[in-house]
Structure 1
Amino acid sequence: MTAAYPAEKDHPAVPMGAVYAGHPPLSRIAFPSGHEGWLVTRYDDVRTVLADPRFSRNLLYPGAPCLIEPGDFATGERSILNLDPPDHTRLRRLSAQAFTVRRIAALRPRIQEIADDLVDTLVAHGPPADLVEEFAFPLPTAVMCELLGVPFAARERFRRWSRVIVTPMQHAPADVERARRDGAHDMAELVAAKRAAPAGDFLSALVHARDEDGDRLTEAELIDLATQLLLAGHETTVSLISTGIFLLCRYPEQLAALRADPALTSGAVEEIMRYDSPAEVSLLRVALEDVELAGCVVGRGDAVLAHTGAANRDENVFPDAAAFDIRRKNAPQLGFGHGIHFCLGAALARLEGEIAVRTLVDRLPGLDLAVSPESVVWRPPLSVCGPEEVPVTWVA
């Protein structure tokens, strides 16, 4: 009755979504933690799990199921990712101020400037280059540092603990816990600095919200929220950019079409998110009551894992779903999630993705992988997915 969690994806021959092409819509599985639960793979059912208030993210009670290990929270217990309404609603309303339409639109020139500077350096040094290290990491990191008011000079220290936190399957539990402590410590120091010398950045605004109206944001919530915004704001976008370029190089006819028609850029980003998004499984949830799903009953207290990667390959929603097609129309992918935990920074990630892909395609003629696709190393499941390195070349 219990199936083991699927093995690491063999990319690109056997994409994760393809593993579930014939998989039952609802099945029992064992998590790496040893707990058991339900795996949900069909598009409509995944949307239900992500949006239905009968499925809770509050897993702080004794004996709560967990995916990897007890207390495997993305940042801390008061993280916005681990809360239900009304606490989630309160934190979401505050954090959404960083990602308003006006604020994101105003960032476009600066994002383009950063992208151009990074490509200037690539061109000056010449091929080959690791796209992750030289472009995909520094671009969103610089953007989030400027948005939040995090010193860019401290990016390597932040990178060390953030990469461990978002790839827990690659590290010993003690190392993951240490990374969480380091992250909380660094953010607490940064909050103290903003309190002493506020600026015009978003973190200063959060500190103001905490200090001027203490019941809106506790100190623990402030530190967790700042940590989560930094994590989600750059780690997933690094993956979006690097995976996108890998896929475009892997499918040169798609790259040629994109190079010839800039109007395809936004659709290309959506297809990248559908075909191989940074987060292929959702955060674990627990049923608050008996819920009928996919013709079965998920019992009260049962853990549920919604597989957005499989949902994005559902042939009932995405015809010819196994094909990577940047011209795909009407493709409401779930790479950014759904419901109240829908990615806060989705608009920013889309903008960064479009600028990054467009700039690389336009300015690096003959862009291609410098190694065989099979040799690219990928992060394991149950983490922020994406390639560790993407060696690329181009016509100098």
Structure 2
Amino acid sequence: MAEQLKNLILAYKADPESVYNTWFINNEERLKAFRTIKSGVGQTVESIERGVFGSDFKGSPLEAVVTAIAEQKQVFDGAAHAFYWKPKLRIPDIYEHEDNKRSFGLFLRQCATATQERQILQEIVRLDQLKIKGLGPATANILYFLHPTLFPPFNTSIVRGFNQISGSKLKLGSWPAYLVMRDRMLEWNFHHRDSLSKDLGALAGLLFEIGSARLIPETALESGIDHSAAVSADRIKSFEKRRREIAEDINESEEHSEMQHALAQLGRSLGYRVWIAQNDHRRIWKNTCLGEFSDPALELPGIDKPVRDTIALIDVLWLNAAGDIVCAFEVEKSTSIYSGILRLQDLSLALSAHDTHLYLIAPGKREKEIKAQLSRPVFRQKQFRNISYILFDELRQNCEAMCRFGSDASVLEKICKQADFT
């Protein structure tokens, strides 16, 4: 068993198209998601405690949380489905049932603030005892983003992969089954800690690949079962899907770089210093490294390190000669609009004394989504009213003219739009 798992781990890590290499390793969007989801959980708890959560999944802070999880692709495909309000079945029963809603909010609060594994396990047992209809261990996907070294993700493919490796017959849908799987995964992760990671996402990704038929354990091949036709068909479909996703990711990355390049070029032409997100300095657009447009370091005196680290990940900043941030831009090609707003929110709160203009940069097809997010009650507060958005095509078509004729950041008023707060 140990040797088989070791070989599977080696094959998993060697495959450039595995989720280990395309999702888990060197993926800044995955790392940003932790911040987005943790903040969204806090807003969900607050809205429940204030009695403004609402009676539907749509438009609730919880929608933003599970959407950010589902946007992690691959391992988290379909993660939001368990939380969709199914009115005919009245599940999950956390929208109309006030006691259940408060219990769910308390569970999220206690888990988000817990510092010990035992505390979270107690909360899981307490939630399970309430038998809230339709609220099962899909919630573990939220727990993963709160405590990634203690609680793995949970979905059909991961459970299927776990069963193939362990010989178990666990079924999706119960907390006891999840906890059995978790205990065994912690054991495997400990024994193979030099090959995997403290973050259980790495091992969950391996089980996902096995459950998706991209990796076949030796025990399955030796069992005497004829896997050839069905498994081959499944593997071909899985490979084709993965290649499409990788091609989409490459295209999205290129458009993201294109927009950063245009904003950096425009900022420099208007006389501003430019900061490119810390993790994007090595991005290339038309044979030019984006870091060449950027200040080498972002100096933000008087701002706490956690907030400063978040601000440093904002895609593009324009600074004046005094070092004040004049404009901040978040490019959202396919990632969460919500997470981009949160990073701009951090900047807005940290620099409340400065007149900083905040912009979301997105494709035209996401304009409706931007308006919906900016219309959320939490973003109707005064400090967020200065968030505008610019569509990709508007920036593409007008960048050169703005570079030539613009004198300062006010030139952006010609192409930016704002959500209607009326």
TM-score, normalised relative to structure 1: 0.24
Greater radius of gyration (CA): 2
TM-score, normalised relative to structure 2: 0.23
Q: Determine which structure has greater relative contact order: mean sequence separation of CA pairs < 8 Å that are 6+ residues apart, divided by chain length.
A: 1
More helix by share: 2
